[in-house]
Structure 1
């Protein structure tokens, strides 16, 4: 048999569902229905969606964030996926609480020159949509988002 495996087809379907949800969230432009969401739970769900067996994804978060649960998970999924795709084979990704919200950091090469949140920006030929989506979801929640090169890429969300 040729063609994708069942697992590859499931992965593609999961990603398509995520893209549909992202498009809907971006089109809406703002979030009106929020609730307390466990950052650890949302980060675990996001990491499960990425399915990156080579990467080490560590979640050290105990805070609860006031957010739309699905959009928070999509934001985290995009941050984790970006870190895994651009961080190299043995990347370690960490999701942590901060005094002002939370952060996702990796020990990869960091961001190149330019604005990593700009649509179409990619340091290595990718589509450049992931961090643009993250920015839009953060803005829809009225959160501040900051990108740093700090021994790798680090995105902080201040809620």
Structure 2
């Protein structure tokens, strides 16, 4: 180095170490025995482990149990045959945080020789946020398909029938035709309400709170219940979105009354949520596999949307990542709406 020259800090070892330790990606190096030999500081942020804790441990330490056997087999096979059973560039898999929750990561593996030994480096990037956005987009696309189905078929069909019935009524002054027209318009009004409700309830549950099962169920009963039917509910506290929960009940209660002939409905707490039961006529020949599918109904007057809304609400997620407690319905409703 010439006299008076300064060291080039961008070629110093310390500079590259800083890049590795302070980047946005987690970096792990393992040997051919699947033992971790190095982990950078980002590991702490991504998986909750201090890097020193992982050195000497198997890579399966940060891997969900269901993938561990396949991982070991893939490593052994590659070492023996040189055959890769997985794509090494940008493969997306769930990893496991120290507290047990899963983290969606994108992993790129590289192999090289260091100190006379073959080692593998894994560069991992947290893609949980992107995967969640993709899930929401897929959910929205499914909703759009449902709306298209309702508009193109479920609404168009009664609309055409209504026009034809109106023409007959005008030509003949047929009161029965007018009554039929009134029923068709009621059906169309119900379809519109269901579609609007499905649009609202299909959104993700972002926040929950402590609510009384009895209070929410009673409020729903005041809206959708019937004076001739007995109703009761357990009084327990649940973690849920109260508006969504009430919507769920408002769909189940009329279903039991109108299609199942129920004389009594009761809501009871279970170990992981609650169940809605009734003493109606039973499900009969209804296909239980399709019971909650959009558009499925065995009733001539049914829209096939009500119980689908129930499932949509029950499957809502809190915080975008975990199931919302107490939004699991196990309805004993005896027919489909």
Structure 1 pair 91–51 and aligned structure 2 pair: CA distance change class (3 A): same
For residue 243 of structure 2, the aligned residue among 67, 70, 83 is 70
CA separation of 1:102/1:146 partners in 2, compared to 1, >3 Å: closer, same or farther? closer
Q: Does residue 123 in structure 1 map to residue 295 in structure 2?
A: no
Structure 2 unaligned regions, length at least 5 = 1-188, 318-322
1:94-105 equivalence runs, <5 A: 94-105=266-277
TM-score of the two chains, using structure 2 as the length reference:
0.36
- Preserved CA contact (<8 Å) 1:22 1:74: no
Point out which structure has higher relative CO (alpha carbons under 8 A, 6+ apart).
1
How far apart, in 1, do the equivalents of 2:295 and 2:197 lie?
19
Change (3 A) 1:45 1:38: same
Q: CA RMSD in A?
A: 2.6
What is the aligned partner in structure 2 of residue 7 from structure 1? none
The answer to whether the Cα contact below 8 Å between 2:229 and 2:263 also exists between their aligned partners in 1 is yes
Compute the displacement of 1:147 (Å): 5.4
Q: Distance in 1 between matches of 2:246 and 2:297?
A: 22
Task: Show the counterpart of 1:40.
Answer: 214
Asked if the contact 1:42/1:72 (under 8 Å) is kept, the reply is: yes
Q: C-alpha distance in 2, partners of 1:45/1:144?
A: 18
Q: What is the rounded CA distance, in whole Å, between the counterparts of 2:214 and 2:328 in structure 1?
A: 20
CA distance in 2, matches of 1:56, 1:147: 17
* 1:96–1:84 CA distance, 2 compared to 1 (3 A): same
TM-superposed deviation, 1:51: 3.6
Corresponding residue for 1:55? 229
What pairs with 1:126-145 in structure 2 (closer than 5 Å)? Answer: 126-141=302-317, 142=323, 144-145=328-329
The Cα of 1:138 is off from its aligned counterpart by 0.6
- Count the aligned residue pairs: 133
Structure 1 moving runs of 4+ over 4 Å: 18-22, 143-148
- Tell which structure's C-alpha radius of gyration is larger: 2
What do the CA deviations read for 1:50-71 (whole angstroms, capped 9, x no partner)?
A: 1412222222x12211111100
* Shift in Å, 1:25: 2.1
For residues 95-120 of structure 1, what are the alpha-carbon distances to aligned partners after superposition, in whole Å with 9 as ceiling and x for unaligned?
11112210101111222321210112
Match of 2:138 in 1: none
Indicate the SS of the match to 2:232. Answer: strand
Change (3 A) 1:56 1:63: same
Q: Which runs of 5+ in 1 are unaligned?
A: 1-11, 155-159
What is the TM-score normalised by the length of structure 1? 0.72
